[in-house]
A and B are shown apart, each in its own frame.
Chain A
Amino acid sequence: EIVLTQSPATLSLSPGERATLSCRASQSVSYLAWYQVKPGQAPRLLIYDASIRATGIPARFSGSGSGTDFTLTISSLEPEDFAVYYCQQRSSWPPFTFGPGTEVDIK
């Protein structure tokens, strides 16, 4: 099973600041996604194949990386971006695995 780790666990930032979230895989993966989860809402797919924005996702969200190291960047935080972010791999399954999440909260 591929294990994903995310860092930091919590990121405290102010609106307008840049957020950089990391996801590391226990072995090389070719396919990685990022999701945003807010309480009481359906999770939202942000990025797939490491760097492709899903339909309707604002350009301030970008993904990069390959192999075992991946990054989600939010260029300038909007109030609605404060949430928990998860990475997910689909290279080796079952199971599909998620990282433990990074919470982006308001400083």
Chain B
Amino acid sequence: EVQLVESGGGLVQSGGSLRLSCEVSGFTFENYWMTWVRQAPGKGLEWVANINEPGTEKYYADFLNGRFTISRDNAKTSLYLQMNSLRVEDTALYYCAKHRKDGYNRWESYFDWWGQGTLVTVSS
């Protein structure tokens, strides 16, 4: 059974840092692109960042302005999001998600498995 379990969320003051983790099981983690998506309270889904299988390619949403870093440890089957210089507007539920592969084993940017999220609250 595929499982993605996020952790590391919590309450932090504006300007602070947090490191989110996503531990996965049930699939060969090292063979899949992974993504972080967030959802602010009462708002919609917003893509944050993604990373390729070996961790050598990383892409970020423009609004991050270099404050967040995505990484992975394939030996630990874990995905991470280091969040620095946090702002009140970063308050959200943060989901990790697995990219789907097509019938030719090529990665696609649809997200076929998600965790339940970890809540980050940034206070002023």
B-binding residues in A (CB < 8 A)? 31, 33, 35, 37, 40-45, 48, 54-55, 86, 88, 90, 93-101
- Chain B residues with CB below 8 A from A88, complex form: 45, 110-111
The answer, yes or no, to whether B73 is at the interface (CB within 8 Å) is no
Closest-CB distance, B44 to chain A (whole angstroms): 5
Nearest to A49 among chain B residues (CB) is: B110
Closest-CB distance, A91 to chain B (whole angstroms): 9
The answer, yes or no, to whether B94 is at the interface (CB within 8 Å) is no
Please determine whether B95 and A42 come into contact, CB atoms closer than 8 angstroms: yes
What are some 22 contacts across the A-B interface (CB < 8 A)?
A31-B108, A37-B45, A41-B116, A42-B4, A42-B95, A43-B45, A43-B111, A44-B114, A45-B110, A45-B111, A90-B109, A93-B59, A94-B60, A94-B61, A95-B47, A95-B62, A96-B109, A98-B44, A98-B45, A100-B44, A101-B44, A101-B45
Given A40-B116, A93-B59, A94-B60: A48 in contact with B45 (beta carbons within 8 A): no
The answer, yes or no, to whether B1 is at the interface (CB within 8 Å) is no
Complex Cα gap A40–B115 (Å): 10
Give the contacts of B84-98 with A (CB-CB under 8 A).
Answer: 95, 97
Complex Cα gap A96–B60 (Å): 10
7 extra A-B contacts, CB within 8 A, seeds A43-B114, A90-B110, A93-B109: A33-B111, A40-B116, A55-B112, A86-B45, A94-B50, A94-B62, A96-B109
Partner of B110, one of A33, A86, A97, A100: A33
- Chain A residues with CB below 8 A from B37, complex form: 43
Complex Cα gap A70–B81 (Å): 33
Nearest to A1 among chain B residues (CB) is: B62
Partner of B100, one of A37, A48, A101: A48
Given A86-B44, A94-B59, A94-B61: A43 in contact with B95 (beta carbons within 8 A): yes
B99-117 near A? 1/0 per residue, CB < 8 Å: 0100000001111111111
